[in-house]
Structure formats: C-alpha cells, structure tokens
C-alpha cells in the first residue's frame, strides 16, 4: 500500500525502530522485554517498545518524587504556561500524531486528528483553569477568626489508559494534573505503545526547553503487571484508570485496599431512544456514526437503539439503507468510513457476539463478517452488523467492543424507553432523539437517564472537553476533563486563623486553666 505519510510522521515524532519504553523526561531507559506494535491497518510492524521492569519503575518513582518537590512550588499560572507550550507543540505535531493514532489504533485519520484536537483543547482549558483553582471562604462562628479552604497538589498521579483513545485520555489527566501541581506516571495500553512514546517525546521537549526537572512526566510500558506496580504503590495517591469494567473492578479493589483514590473511566452500553417525534435524518446520522465510528470501539459508541414501535420499521429501513453506503477499509484513506478492529482477538469477540445474539433469539438484519483479500490483509476488518434483539439478552447487557448495533422496540410513552435504556449495568452515555419538549425533559429529569452523559438530539458518541466526562454504575463513577473534574487531582485543606489574643473554642465550649 502507499505509505500515507507514516514514515514521515514516525520520524517527526522522534520514533525509532526500537524505543525505550521507560522515561522520566529526557532520560529514557528500559530493561524489560520488547512489545512489537503491529498496525491493524495493514498488519505491518510499526516499531518496538521496551517494557518497564520493577527496577526501572523504582528509578521512575524516585525521579517523580523529587520532581514533585520542585513542581508543586511553582505558582499554578506558571505551571499553566508550561501546559500552554505543550498545547502549542501539539498544534505543530497535530498531523503527525493524528496519523500515528490512526495507524496504530485503526481509527480514521479524521478521528485521529480529532483526538489530537481534544488534547489541544484540554491544554487551553487547563491554562485558564491554572488561575482558577478556587476554594471557598466561610464565616467563622468565632469572633475575629477567618476560615477558608485551599487546594494543594496531591503528589504523583498514576495514569493507566486504554487502546482506543491512545493519546487523548493521557492529556485529559495530565493537563489538569500538571496545572494542579502534580507529576504524572503513565502506562499506556500495551496495544498502542508507540503513541505513548510519541507523546512523551513531545512533552519532554517542552520540559527540557524550560529547564524543568526529570520526573514531571514519566512513561512506563508493559501489560497489566506494570499497571499493578502503580495500583499497589502507596506513593501514588491517585490512580486514574481507563479501560474495561473487568480491569476497573480489580484496580478499584487494589487502590481502595491501601485507601488510595481511584478515578475510573470504564465500559459503556450506550443507547439512543428514538421517539415518534424524532427527526429521521438526524437519527440516522447520529445512530450510524455512533455505531460504526472508530469501528464501534469508543466507550461512547452506540450499542442499542430503542425505537418506538409506531416508527420502528421506518427507522430500521433508513438505518439499514445507510449501512449499505458504508465503505470499509484503510482508515488513512479519507474515502473510507470504517477502519479495522484493534486486533484479531477483538475480531473473535465480535464473531462471538453475533453468534450469541442469534442463539439467544435475535435476528441479524445487516450481516456481519470478516473481510479478507486486497487491503484487508491484517485480518482485522469486519462488516458493521445490526441485530434485532431484546434488552434482557445477556449479549445485549454486555459491552461488545465492535460495530454491532442492537435494535430494540418500545411501546407506550417515553418512560418505557427510559426504563429499557437504564436497565443495563453500565451508565456512561445516553441520548434521545425527539422534538417533543416533554419527552426531552422527562429523559433529563430525576427519573430520566441514569448515565453520566445524557444528550438531546445528539448521538451518544463524542464529547467536548468543557464538560465533566464519565459515567455511573459499572462505568466506574469517575469524572475527567472539564467542569470541576480538576478537584480530584488536589487535596482540600480547611484553614482557620485566629487573630485575637484569646483562644475561643468552637461550639462555645469552655476550657479555662
């Protein structure tokens, strides 16, 4: 195939054939075994990354511990200036990094660029926030006393991320953590290690240009065992982990066992409710992009469409027609809508889901299948499929990280649809398509969607950095990115100052000596 500018992108990002997977900034080292990263796009080897041993990890932790002592004393707006420079570097490298994301993860080049844009956006957000890490002041009950609260940096933030947003999730955490005065240690997914090295190279340049110490941004690499170095480490007060619910349950238990904090961003099972008052064109675009974008590998991908019975056939036919127009192929070729799954294990899960939905009584209405032949040599390209199903099928209750969309029917009013929508273990993203104010408000009300994200006339997938991102129930309860998500990266302290010559006690308690 044509190279699509990959060679040039790798060079621009400072990537080698074999890369050190452990870094404290400009010091890169590693003595662990090698991960070979193969592209799901064409099955070719992109490069190799050496993993982190326990001894390497100790060096990282020493550098991070030392760096924190300096970094926390820098005024927050000056920390913001470093994040501003990081955002500028990302602007310069946007095309190269977007291309690598597309090639290593398999999402379309446009989505790769979008992911880097999210990184830039969160940097901009964090720069402004660096002057707004506000606490409150309170009125003391004691005369001539002042009471207020302030936020201090936490320390070392451990970041564990998933393959499907191989660069953005890191920056959602780091941009905020850095302006809050924390230092970060990141373990990217073992499926996208080259993206991790590329990001670390970019921030290392900024830190070196500003003569900042090693350890403000650290990278470690490897599988779950390397992740466990951090979950078990009492020197890490906050572990931010993005990935499957299975992983989140293990991490939550481990971190809570040592009374650390965890920020969990786990799996979703996202639905769009389509009511009688929906706009068909908007519904089709929202549902199809939500279900097939990133080949169904977004945590916010649309998995279920809950359609009113009176319009069920009309919506079904329109969506089936839209699926006929989908072009599946190399995601770097902008003519294609759908790229590959991450690897052949994911293909096996997809196949299993299609078998299971039929076994449980569902009906496939858009056939799936694995593509082979010219352009599909990696074995990771699959056809987006649609099945008619019931919400209580075990497979429908489960997040299959692939482009499989389930059509579900509801009757009566919107409360029935909301009940179906909420009746899953996960609680990440949800949407309603309606022009009816009563339905929209019911969906957003206290008795409405139980998800962390609830949209009206927008699909489930994609979010802006300005809002807090995350979900309830088995999605883990964490919030990242905008709004006041920054607070989890800091520790709150309440201060009371007495400017009298007496020592009055609270609640009027008398204690005379």
Q: Give 446: exposed, middle or buried? Use CB within 10 Å, 0-12, 13-18, 19+.
A: exposed
Are 100 and 9 contacting, i.e. CB atoms less than 8 angstroms apart?
Answer: yes
What is 273-322 written as a DSSP string?
A: EE-TT--HHHHHHHHHHHHHGGGG-STT-EEEEEEEGGGHHHHHHHHHHH
Q: Would you say 179 or 346 has its CB closer to ligand NAD?
A: 346
Pick the closest to residue 270 from 440, 35, 455, 126 (CA basis). 455
The nearest distance, CB 15 to ligand NAD, in angstroms, is 19
Using the minimum distance from each CB to ligand NAD, give the nearer residue, 80 or 188: 188
Report the candidate in 244, 297, 288, 269 with the shortest Cα–Cα distance to residue 396.
269
Tell me the closest approach of the beta carbon of residue 474 to ligand NAD, in angstroms.
10
- 506 burial type by CB count under 10 A (0-12 exposed, 13-18 middle, 19+ buried): exposed
End-to-end Cα, the chain, rounded Å:
88
Shortest separation between residue 142's beta carbon and ligand NAD, angstroms: 45
Q: How far is CA 120 from CA 126, 168, 216, 282, 461, in A?
A: 10, 9, 19, 28, 19
* Residue 169 CB contacts under 8 Å (≥ 6 apart), including other chains: 159, 161, 162, 242, 265, 480
Q: Which is nearer to ligand NAD, 244 or 416 (CB)?
A: 244
User: Which residues in this chain contact ligand NAD in the complex, by CB under 6 A?
Assistant: 160-165, 187, 189-190, 223-224, 227-228, 231, 242-244, 247, 250-251, 265-268, 299, 399, 401, 428, 475
**Under 8 Å between Cβ of 185 and 156:** yes
* 3-state per-residue secondary structure call for 87-126: HHHHHHCHHHHHHHHHHHHCCCHHHHHHHHHHHHHHHHHH
For ligand NAD, the closer of residues 251 and 274 by Cβ is 251
Going by C-alpha positions, the residue among 136, 156, 180, 171 that lies closest to residue 68 is 156
CB-nearer residue toward ligand NAD: 367 or 484? 484
Nearer to ligand NAD, 242 or 330 (CB): 242
261 closest CA partner among 158, 136, 174? 158
- CB–CB of 182/218 below 8 Å? no
3-state secondary structure (DSSP) of residue 490: strand
CB of 471 to ligand NAD, least distance (A): 6
Judged by DSSP in three states, 328 sits in strand
Between CA 243 and CA 273 the distance in angstroms is 26
Residue among 182 and 399 whose Cβ is closer to ligand NAD: 399
Residue 49 contacts residue 37 (beta carbons within 8 Å): yes
> Cβ 79 to ligand NAD, closest distance in Å?
25
For the chain, how many residues are written?
513
Nearer Cβ to ligand NAD, position 250 or 458?
A: 250
CA angle 173, 175, 176 (to 5 degrees): 70
Catalytic (active site) residue 118: no
Cβ-proximal residues to 250 (8 Å cutoff; 6+ apart), any chain = 231
Catalytic residue among 20, 265, 439, 480: 265
Whichever of 103 and 163 has its CB closer to ligand NAD, that residue is: 163
Closest separation between CB of residue 424 and ligand NAD, Å?
13
Three-class secondary structure assignment of 54-87 = HHHHHHHHHHHHHHHHHHCCCCHHHHHHHHHHHH
Lookup result for tokens 């200036």: 81
Least gap, CB of 469 to ligand NAD (angstroms): 6
Of the pair 118, 265, the CB lying nearest ligand NAD is at: 265
Beta pairing class for 261-265 and 238-242: parallel
What are the catalytic residues? Answer: 265
């Amino acid at each position: 195939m044509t190279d699509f500018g990959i060679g040039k992108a790798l060079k621009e990002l400072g990537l080698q054939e074999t890369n050190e997977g452990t870094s404290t900034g400009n010091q890169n080292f590693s003595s662990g075994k090698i991960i070979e990263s193969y592209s799901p796009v064409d099955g070719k080897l992109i490069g190799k990354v050496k993993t982190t041993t326990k001894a390497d990890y100790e060096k990282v932790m020493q550098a991070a511990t030392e760096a924190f002592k300096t970094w926390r004393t820098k005024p927050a707006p000056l920390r913001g200036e470093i994040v501003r420079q990081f955002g500028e570097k990302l602007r310069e490298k946007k095309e190269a990094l977007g291309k690598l994301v597309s090639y290593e993860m398999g999402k379309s080049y446009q989505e790769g660029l979008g992911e880097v844009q999210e990184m830039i956006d969160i940097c901009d957000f964090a720069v402004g926030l660096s002057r707004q890490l506000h606490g409150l002041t309170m009125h003391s009950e004691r005369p001539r006393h002042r009471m207020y609260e302030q936020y201090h940096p936490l320390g070392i933030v451990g970041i564990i991320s998933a393959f499907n947003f191989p660069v953005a999730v890191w920056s959602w955490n780091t941009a905020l953590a850095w302006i809050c005065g924390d230092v970060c240690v990141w373990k990217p997914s073992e499926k996208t290690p080259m993206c991790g090295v590329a990001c670390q190279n970019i921030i290392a340049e900024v830190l070196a240009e500003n003569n900042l110490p090693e350890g403000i941004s650290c990278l470690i690499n490897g599988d779950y065992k390397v992740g466990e170095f951090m979950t078990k480490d009492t020197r890490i007060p906050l572990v931010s982990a993005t990935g499957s619910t299975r992983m989140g349950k293990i991490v939550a238990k481990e971190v809570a066992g040592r009374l650390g904090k965890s920020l969990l961003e786990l799996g979703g099972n996202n639905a769009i409710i389509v009511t009688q008052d929906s706009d068909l064109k908007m519904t089709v675009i929202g549902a199809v992009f939500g279900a097939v974008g990133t080949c169904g590998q977004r945590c916010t991908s649309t998995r279920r469409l809950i359609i009113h019975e009176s319009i069920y056939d009309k919506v079904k036919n329109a969506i089936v027609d839209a699926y006929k127009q989908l072009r599946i192929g190399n995601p770097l070729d902008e003519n294609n809508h759908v790229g590959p799954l991450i690897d052949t294990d994911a293909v096996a899960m997809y196949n299993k889901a299609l078998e299971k939905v039929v076994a449980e009584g569902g009906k496939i209405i858009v056939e799936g299948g694995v593509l082979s032949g010219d352009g599909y040599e990696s074995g990771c390209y699959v056809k987006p499929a649609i099945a008619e199903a019931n919400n209580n099928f075990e497979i429908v209750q489960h997040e299959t990280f692939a482009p499989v969309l389930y059509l579900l029917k509801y009757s009566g009013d919107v409360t029935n649809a909301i009940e179906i929508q909420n009746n899953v273990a996960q609680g990440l993203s949800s949407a309603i398509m309606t022009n009816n104010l009563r339905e929209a408000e019911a969906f957003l009300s206290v008795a409405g969607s139980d998800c962390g994200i609830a949209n009206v006339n927008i699909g489930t997938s994609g979010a802006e950095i300005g809002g807090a991102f995350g979900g309830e129930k088995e999605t883990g309860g964490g919030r990242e990115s905008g709004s006041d998500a920054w607070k989890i990266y800091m520790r709150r302290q309440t201060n009371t100052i007495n400017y009298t010559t007496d020592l009055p006690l609270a609640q009027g308690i008398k204690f005379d000596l």
